[in-house]
Structure 1
């Protein structure tokens, strides 16, 4: 995918999010205005316009944070394991730690309640064109905590593949952060994709 195409898609997504946020704000404005019958019609119109413009304002600043480093630090385990539950299925399981440097503080503005940050492992398999597995996550509620500098961070959840195809597999790490606003719709950003090849034998 070309850079130009990616930029156009981001613009379209931003407009889509902004329009829906404006509609939500307009609905809230109508509800709020109905609760204040003592206000003049002109004041009600001004309040509605202000709420709609406010909803748009947080989607246009263009700086949502960035990732400086993201890579596998050390592979701890790659083996075939069996589910001890009712299914008894076998699957491949990989455990590793990773390094991460990211500054997501620019994503915070007056309308952001929190960020939901998660690490996704992506890979292709015979069964699925693209498999995506979340292996780590964190909730960030303050701007001061949005600068991440992690070294040899362990996974929260193991990488598991029910198709038993992780050996010699090229996996891609992607950091994604979900913006959770006080008003408006949720939207996501991602940055810095890094790939590594797992061993061709179990460890």
Structure 2
């Protein structure tokens, strides 16, 4: 005879197995939804100054600020299983940054300069939004389980959230600096997936575009230059 505890354990094990099976099937449905993300990035302004890039910096160092234009269509990333999409832009440069022959494929330096979290309508309440923004999001997504329009990004002369620094303390006149668009899809059920650059995976296509032209960072902006630009 089975005891009540053994029967309870068997019942719990059965429902756990069923729950994991259903979760696996839900996660697998993502593979049936095509992903065709695309993006266009262009740097609009580059500046290098010397100072304390953060309030907690202990010494002055060179840091760069890069403004950019971003046009992206990430609407195909939003499905009924999408909780939110994390979008970010990085600045990349190779080697020591001063070798003009450095191959773009051998990138060794990468720094995030801007990021944003785009929630799906069903997870707006989980986002770090103020009351006014949350009310606006809910109004725009009323009656929608999926709001693909949130994946359309259009930023003009966007200021970076984060400055670029280097352990050496010097970053001025760095060569072959380019911007790259990245995304991370966070589903309700399943694995986190990142942007694809190397090859297609079934219906999931590589990110089209999303890389800016290479630029060289300017020399350090001096105090005289700041006065001239302000006048």
In 2: Cα distance, 1:92 partner to 1:198 partner:
15
In 2: Cα distance, 1:197 partner to 1:175 partner:
16
Highest relative contact order (Cα 8 Å, sep 6+), 1 or 2?
2
Cα displacement (A) at 1:85: 4.6
Map of 2:26 onto structure 1 = 54
- The answer as to whether partners of 1:64 and 1:106 remain within 8 angstroms in 2 is yes
- The answer as to whether partners of 1:72 and 1:196 remain within 8 angstroms in 2 is no
Cα displacement (A) at 1:49: 4.7
Q: 3-state DSSP class of the match of 1:55?
A: helix
Map of 1:137 onto structure 2 = 115
The structure with more radius of gyration: 2
Q: Does 1:117 align with 2:135?
A: no
- Cα deviation per residue 1:137-191 (whole Å; 9 max; x = unaligned)? 1110133321001111111111222321341421121111110110112111154
Map of 2:211 onto structure 1 = 193
In 2: Cα distance, 1:86 partner to 1:177 partner:
29
- Report the aligned-residue RMSD: 3.0
In 2: Cα distance, 1:141 partner to 1:198 partner:
35
Q: 5+ residue gaps in structure 1?
A: 1-32
Q: 5+ residue gaps in structure 2?
A: 1-9, 98-105, 121-147, 197-206, 222-231
Cα displacement (A) at 1:47: 6.9
Residue 46 to residue 95, structure 1, CA distance change in 2 (3 Å): closer
- The answer as to whether partners of 2:23 and 2:190 remain within 8 angstroms in 1 is no
Q: Which of 170, 176, 181 is 2:182 aligned to?
A: 176
In 1: Cα distance, 2:11 partner to 2:74 partner:
39
Q: 3-state DSSP class of the match of 1:59?
A: helix
- Per mean C-alpha deviation after superposition, the further-off stretch among 44-53 and 189-198 is 44-53
- The answer as to whether partners of 1:125 and 1:165 remain within 8 angstroms in 2 is no
In 2: Cα distance, 1:158 partner to 1:98 partner:
13
Q: Which residues in structure 2 correspond to 1:1-203 (within 5 Å)?
A: 34-35=11-12, 49-67=21-39, 69-75=40-46, 77-82=47-52, 85=56, 87-88=58-59, 90-126=60-96, 130-142=108-120, 143-163=148-168, 164-189=170-195, 191=207, 192-203=210-221
